[in-house]
A and B are shown apart, each in its own frame.
Chain A
Amino acid sequence: MKDFTVGNAGHLFVILSFVTALVATFSYLKMTLAHEAAEENHWKRLARGAFYVHGVAVVSVVACLFSIIYNHRFEYQYAWSHSSLALPVQYMISCFWEGQEGSFLLWMFWNAVLGIILTRTAGSKWEGPMLTVFALVQAFLTSMILGVVLGDVKIGSSPFLLLKESMPDAPVFTMNPNFVPSDGKGLNPLLQNYWMVIHPPTLFLGFALSLVPFAYCIAGLWRNQPLNWIRPAQPWMLVGAVVLGVGIMMGGYWAYETLNFGGYWNWDPVENAVYVPWLIMVAAMHTMLTAKRSSAGLKTAIILTVAQFIFILYSTFLSRSGILGNASVHSFTDLGLSGQLLVYLLAFVVIAVALMAVKWKLIPSDEQELSIYNKELWLFLGAIVLCLAGFQVISTTSIPVYNKVAELFGKASNLAMPTNQVAHYNKFQIWFFSVVAVLSGVGQYIWWRKAGKGNFNTLMTPLVLTLLISAAIIGFGEVKNPVYMVFLTASVFAMMANGAILLGVIQGNYRLSGGAVAHMGMALMLIGILFSSGYSKITSINNSGLMISKSEEFTKNDNKENKENVLLWLNQSERMDGYQLTYRGQRVEVRDMPGYVPRKAVEVIEGDFRGVAQEDLSANGKLYHKKGDTIALYPENVYYEVEYREPSGKIFSLYPRAQVNERMGTLASPDIRHKAGRDLYTFVSSVPDPNAETIWDKTETYSIAIRDTFFLNDYVAILDNVVKTNEVEGIDMKPSDVGVKAQVRVLYKDREVMMQPAFVIRDGAIASPADISDDLGVRLQLKTIDPKTGKFTFAANQTQRDYIVMKASEKPLINLLWIGTLVMVVGFIMAIVRRYRENGKMEGKAQKEDRKKTAISYQ
Chain B
Amino acid sequence: MKLSHIIGIIVIAVAIGIVVTSYGDSSSYVTFGKALAMAKDGDEDMVHVVGKLKKDASGKAEGLFYQPQLDPNHFEFTLVDNENHVQKCVYNSPKPQDFDRSEQIVVIGAMQGDHFQTNKILLKCPSKYQDGKLEVTEHEAKTAQL
Check B68–A567 contact: CB distance below 8 A.
Answer: yes
Interface residues of A in 381-401 (CB under 8 A from B): 381, 384, 388, 391-392, 395-396, 399
Contacts of A369 in B (CB 8 A): 2-4
* Residue A355 is within 8 A (CB to CB) of chain B in the complex: no
Q: Tell me if A465 counts as interface (CB < 8 A to partner B).
A: no
For window 407-431 of A, CB contacts with B under 8 Å fall at 414-420, 422-424, 426, 428, 430
Task: Choose, from A55-63, A544-552, A837-845, the stretch at the interface.
Answer: A544-552
Stretch at the interface among B35-43, B53-61, B91-99: B91-99
Interchain CA distance A372-B137 in the complex, whole Å? 50
Whether A510 is near chain B, meaning CB under 8 Å from some CB there, is no
Q: In the complex, are the beta carbons of B26 and A399 less than 8 A apart? A: yes
Q: Give the residue of B19, B108, B143 whose beta carbon is less than 8 angstroms from that of A536.
A: B143
Assess whether B120 is interfacial by the CB under 8 Å rule: yes
Stretch at the interface among A26-34, A336-344, A558-566: A558-566
Which of A534, A547, A548 has the most chain B CB atoms inside 10 A of its CB?
A547
**Contact with B3, one of A261, A372, A415 (Cβ below 8 angstroms):** A372
In the complex, are the beta carbons of A428 and B18 less than 8 A apart?
yes
Residues of A near B83 (CB, < 8 A) are none
> In the complex the two chains form, is B15's CB within 8 Å of A666's CB?
no
Residues in B whose Cβ lies below 8 Å from that of A81: 129
Q: A388-B15, A414-B28 are in contact. Are A565 and B22 (CB under 8 A)?
A: no
Assuming A329-B137, A422-B144, A805-B72, is B3 touching A377 (CB within 8 A)? yes
**A549–B65 Cα gap in the complex (Å)?**
13
Considering the complex, give the chain B residue whose CB is closest to the CB of A801: B69
Max count, chain B CB within 10 A of own CB: residue among A266, A395, A414, A418: A418
Asked whether, in the complex, the Cβ of A553 is within 8 Å of the Cβ of B74, the reply is yes
State in angstroms the CA–CA spacing of A81 and B130 once bound together.
Answer: 9
Interface residue A656 (Cβ < 8 Å from any Cβ of B) = no
In the complex formed, the residue of B with least CB distance to A370 is B3
**Residue A686 at the chain B interface, CB threshold 8 Å:** yes
Q: Which single member of A392, A419, A547, A803 contacts B22 (CB below 8 Å)?
A: A392
Residue A351 CB within 8 A of the other chain: no
| B106 interfacial contact with A, CB 8 Å | yes
Residues of A within 8 A of B95 (CB): 686
B36-90 interface (Cβ within 8 A of A): 45-48, 68-74, 90
Q: Give every chain B residue within 8 A of A396 (Cβ-Cβ).
A: 22, 25-26
Chain B residues lying within 8 Å of A611, measured Cβ to Cβ, are none
Knowing A262-B144, A536-B145, the reply to whether A548 touches B135 (Cβ < 8 A) is no
Does B46 lie within 8 Å of A419, measured CB to CB? yes
How long is the Cα–Cα vector from A371 to B130 in the complex, in angstroms? 60
Known: A384-B11, A417-B27. A803 touches B137 (CB 8 A): no
Interface size class of A (residues with CB under 8 A): 35 or more
- Complex CA–CA separation, A529 to B146 (angstroms): 9
Q: Is the CB of A554 within 8 A of B129?
A: no
Interface flag for A94 (CB, 8 Å): no
B144 interface neighbour in A261, A428, A686, Cβ under 8 Å: A261
Bound-state CA distance A530–B146 (Å) is 8
Give chain B residues whose Cβ lies under 8 Å from the Cβ of A391: 15, 18
Are B133 and A381 in contact (CB-based, < 8 A)? no
- Nearest CB of chain B from residue A473's CB, rounded to whole Å: 16
Question: How far, in whole Å, are A430 and B106 apart by their CA atoms in the complex?
Answer: 30
Interface string of B1-43 (1 = CB under 8 A from A): 0111001000100110011011001111110000000000000
- Residue in A closest to B46 when the chains form the complex, CB atoms: A419
B18 with A395: CB separation less than 8 A? yes
Q: Check B93–A685 contact: CB distance below 8 A.
A: yes
Is residue A333 within 8 Å, beta carbon to beta carbon, of the partner chain?
A: yes
Known: A392-B22, A530-B146, A665-B97. A562 touches B141 (CB 8 A): yes
**Distance A391 CA – B15 CA, assembled complex (angstroms):** 8
B interface, size bucket: 35 or more
A802-819 residues with Cβ-Cβ distance < 8 A to B are 803, 805, 807, 809
Contact status A549-B74, CB under 8 Å = yes
Min CB distance B19 to A, Å, is: 6
Bound CA span A564–B30, Å? 29
**CA distance in complex: A530, B90 (Å):** 32
Q: How far apart are the CA atoms of A566 and B72 in the complex, in Å?
A: 7
A662 at the interface (CB under 8 A from B): yes
The residue from B4, B68, B137 contacting A296, defined by CB atoms under 8 A apart = B4
**Which of B15, B45, B73, B135 counts the most A-chain CB atoms under 10 A from its CB?**
B73
Contacts of A372 in B (CB 8 A): 3
Q: In the assembled complex, which residues on chain B have CB atoms less than 8 Å from the CB atom of A420?
A: 46, 119, 144
Given contacts A372-B3, A665-B125, contact A262 B143 (CB under 8 A): yes
Which of B14, B46, B94, B101 has the most chain A CB within a 10 Å cutoff? Answer: B94
Partner of A419, one of B11, B98, B108, B137: B108
Write the nearest CB–CB distance from A832 to chain B, whole angstroms. Answer: 30
With beta carbons under 8 angstroms apart, the residue of A549, A663, A668 that contacts B70 is A549
- Closest chain-B Cβ to A330's Cβ sits at a distance in Å of 9
A157 to B18, CA, bound (A): 39
Please measure, in the bound complex, the distance between the C-alpha atom of A665 and the C-alpha atom of B129, giving whole angstroms: 11
Picked from B29, B71, B129, B144, the residue with its CB within 8 Å of the CB of A663 is: B129
Residues of the B chain whose Cβ atoms lie less than 8 Å from the Cβ of A428: 18, 21
Task: Please determine whether B143 and A809 come into contact, CB atoms closer than 8 angstroms.
Answer: yes
Docked complex Cα distance between A361 and B98 (Å): 61
Residues in B whose Cβ lies below 8 Å from that of A417: 26-27
Residues of chain A within 8 A (CB-CB) of B46 are 419-420
Minimum distance in angstroms from A3 CB to a CB of chain B? 28
Contact with B along A493-512 (1 / 0, CB 8 A): 00000000000000000000
Chain B residues within an 8 Å CB radius of A664: 125, 135, 137
Contact A381:B72 (CB < 8 A) given known A261-B140, A565-B94, A665-B125? no
CA distance A109 to B59 in the complex (A): 50
> In the complex the two chains form, what is the Cα distance from A549 to B75 in whole Å?
12
Do residues B120 and A547 form an inter-chain contact, with CB atoms below 8 A? no
Chain B residues lying within 8 Å of A185, measured Cβ to Cβ, are: 129
Q: Which among B3, B25, B72, B144 is the interface contact of A565 at CB below 8 angstroms?
A: B72
- A333-B130, A388-B11, A388-B14 given; A567·B143 CB < 8 A: no
Contacts of B142 in A (CB 8 A): 561-562, 564
Take A381-B7, A388-B11, A417-B26 as given contacts and tell me if A803 and B70 are in contact as well, using a CB distance cutoff of 8 Å: no
- Known contacts: A329-B136, A542-B72. The answer to whether A805 contacts B94 by CB under 8 A is yes
Judge if A326 is at the interface, Cβ distance under 8 Å: yes
Beta-carbon contact of B68 and A686 below 8 Å: yes
A533 interface contact, C-beta 8 A: yes
B122 on the A face (CB < 8 A): yes
Do residues B122 and A326 form an inter-chain contact, with CB atoms below 8 A? Answer: yes
Complex Cα gap A547–B2 (Å): 67
Tell me the complex Cα distance, A807–B28, Å: 30
- Greatest chain A CB density within 10 A among B14, B28, B108, B120 is at B14
Residue contacts A-B, CB under 8 angstroms, 11 given: A329-B136, A414-B29, A420-B144, A424-B22, A530-B146, A533-B145, A536-B146, A559-B92, A562-B73, A562-B141, A564-B73
Which 3 pairs of residues, A with B, have the shortest CB-CB distance?
A686-B94, A562-B92, A665-B98
Q: A391-B18, A561-B142 are in contact. List 9 more A-B contacts (CB 8 A).
A: A333-B130, A384-B7, A396-B25, A418-B26, A419-B48, A536-B146, A805-B68, A805-B72, A807-B143
